[in-house]
């Protein structure tokens, strides 16, 4: 018994010494829910059709993931840093992206307490880190309650991103990055001689070509300010087309401004965003189209797709509220709207110019600091900006972080 205790103490000492030299943290989220989702479509010509699904869904409050992050002290206030993060489906144990082991994040870099951090690799966009996780009461949940329903580019990530982030200075912090090959599948809008609108497929998701101009490149930037109950932020995203697919197209870009204020009894959220010359993300969602014979889940294959479409613009709005209920509960609510411009009428076979509105309610209950129960519900009219397509979703789930 004494030998066992001695061995345990020695092992603990070795682990402590190792972690003091090179701090490495294993972390993750396991999130699963029972969900009911219904899509219904109707118009005066075709009548009404619909489809629904009830069953287990993965990562509806937060995407299930595991990861490693670490820092090594290099002396003089400098450190080597890294983060590797992989998404998975707890329902069947598979990776959420079969093409990538670390599909969520995969980067390394250097940091200095006085000068900030320089990183390279697959990283979250600034909108993801500064906006979605901060100015949405549902924290960009994978369910339809999340802000990505209207702000489709809110949760974007970039491959091959070189970024610099300042240290926090009197509550202010900023970040900027450039991607040499963004890793987003792309589509290019063209108009035929007869005036019809078509789409040409561009680069595949993970393509990185030798010719510099044969890559879809990107830029992400933003700044935030935090002071007590006040949080303010502005972000900008831009994707540049592969000119070897279709030349002469402009970049597609978007910005978001927003913030929160915590009154103690309740916290309020407000965001406004606009994307122009196309769609920064969620392209398949808008392009897939809905027919009376085949209503499929429009959110099924949307992640990372970008549409280059000259003149197309979408304004996005969000108002939200969170309020504590008792010692362990939290009530959540939000309204979102995506407002496309008339340019969408050029591609009526895929989308329309209908305003998409989403109304959401939620409740979370913390069993502990790391485990919580959640119940969400939402209703979306003109989902995917398709006139007459409505979506209803309710769910109950459990989330554990480690």
278 Rama class: left (phi>0) / alpha (psi -120 to 50) / beta: left
Rounded to an integer, what distance in angstroms lies between the CA atom of residue 269 and that of residue 135?
Answer: 6
Buried b (16+ CB within 10 A) or exposed e, 78-105: ebebbbbbbbbbeeeeeebbeebebbbb
Lowest mean pLDDT among 70-84, 104-118, 174-188, 297-311: 297-311
Tell me: the pLDDT tens digits for 241-292?
887 777 777 899 999 999 999 999 999 999 999 999 988 886 555 444 444 4
Q: What per-residue confidence (pLDDT) applies to 366? A: 98
Domain assignment present for 362: yes
Domain assignment present for 15: no
Q: What per-residue confidence (pLDDT) applies to 282? A: 64
Domain assignment present for 84: yes
Count how many domains the chain has. Answer: 1
Q: Give the model's confidence band at 328: pLDDT under 50 very low, under 70 low, under 90 confident, else very high.
A: very high
Lowest mean pLDDT among 137-141, 195-199, 225-229, 293-297: 293-297
Domain assignment present for 10: no
Tell me: the pLDDT tens digits for 165-216?
999 999 999 999 999 999 887 777 766 555 556 667 776 666 677 877 778 8
Tell me: the pLDDT tens digits for 335-368?
999 998 865 543 444 445 789 999 999 999 999 9
Rounded to an integer, what distance in angstroms lies between the CA atom of residue 315 and that of residue 274?
Answer: 4
Q: Cα 372 from chain centroid? A: 21
Domain assignment present for 16: no
Q: Which domain holds residue 283?
A: 28-401
Q: What per-residue confidence (pLDDT) applies to 199? A: 65
Is it the case that residue 43 has pLDDT exceeding 80?
no
Tell me: the pLDDT tens digits for 119-161?
999 999 999 999 988 999 999 888 899 999 999 888 889 999 9
Please name which of 334, 326, 339, 338 lies closest in space to residue 366, comparing C-alpha atoms.
326
Domain assignment present for 296: yes
Is it the case that residue 5 has pLDDT exceeding 70?
no
Domain assignment present for 4: no
Which residues touch 258 (CB under 8 Å, ≥6 apart)?
131, 135, 232, 233, 234, 269, 270, 271, 272, 273, 318
CATH assignment at residue 60: 2.40.160.10
Mean pLDDT score of the chain, rounded to an integer? 85
Domain assignment present for 23: no
């Amino acid at each position: 018994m004494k030998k066992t205790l001695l061995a345990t103490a020695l092992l603990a000492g070795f682990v402590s010494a190792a972690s003091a030299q090179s701090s490495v943290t294993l972390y993750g989220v396991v999130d699963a829910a029972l969900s009911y989702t219904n899509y219904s479509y109707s118009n005066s010509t075709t009548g009404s059709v619909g489809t629904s699904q009830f069953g287990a869904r993965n990562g509806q409050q937060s995407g299930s993931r595991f990861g490693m992050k670490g820092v090594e002290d290099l002396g003089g206030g400098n450190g080597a840093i890294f983060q590797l993060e992989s998404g998975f489906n707890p329902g069947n144990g598979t990776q959420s992206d079969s093409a990538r082991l670390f599909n969520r994040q995969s980067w390394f870099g250097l940091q200095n307490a006085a000068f900030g951090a320089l990183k390279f690799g697959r990283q979250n966009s600034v909108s993801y880190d500064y906006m979605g996780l901060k100015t949405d009461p549902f924290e960009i949940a994978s369910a339809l309650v999340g802000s990505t329903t209207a702000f489709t580019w809110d949760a974007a990530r970039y491959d091959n991103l070189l970024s610099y982030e300042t240290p926090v200075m009197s509550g202010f912090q900023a970040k900027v990055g450039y991607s040499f090959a963004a890793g987003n599948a792309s589509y290019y809008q063209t108009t035929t001689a007869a005036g019809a609108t078509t789409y040409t497929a561009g680069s595949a998701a993970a393509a990185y070509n030798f010719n510099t101009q044969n890559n879809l490149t990107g830029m992400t930037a933003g700044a935030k300010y935090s002071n007590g109950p006040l949080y303010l932020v502005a972000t900008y995203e831009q994707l540049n087309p592969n000119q070897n697919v279709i030349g002469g197209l402009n970049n597609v870009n978007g910005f978001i401004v927003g913030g929160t204020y915590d009154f103690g009894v309740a916290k309020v959220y407000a965001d406004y965003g606009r994307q122009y010359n196309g769609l920064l993300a969620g392209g398949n969602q808008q392009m897939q189209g809905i027919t009376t014979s085949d209503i499929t889940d429009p959110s099924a294959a949307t992640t990372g797709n970008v549409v280059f479409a000259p003149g197309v613009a979408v304004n996005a709005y969000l108002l939200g509220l969170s309020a504590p209920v008792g010692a362990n509960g939290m009530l959540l609510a939000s309204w979102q709207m995506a407002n496309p411009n008339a340019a969408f009428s050029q591609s009526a076979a895929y989308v329309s110019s209908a305003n998409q509105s989403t109304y959401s309610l939620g409740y979370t209950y913390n069993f502990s600091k790391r485990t919580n129960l959640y119940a969400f519900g939402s209703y979306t009219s003109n989902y995917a900006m398709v006139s007459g397509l409505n979506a209803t979703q309710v769910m109950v789930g459990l989330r554990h972080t480690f």
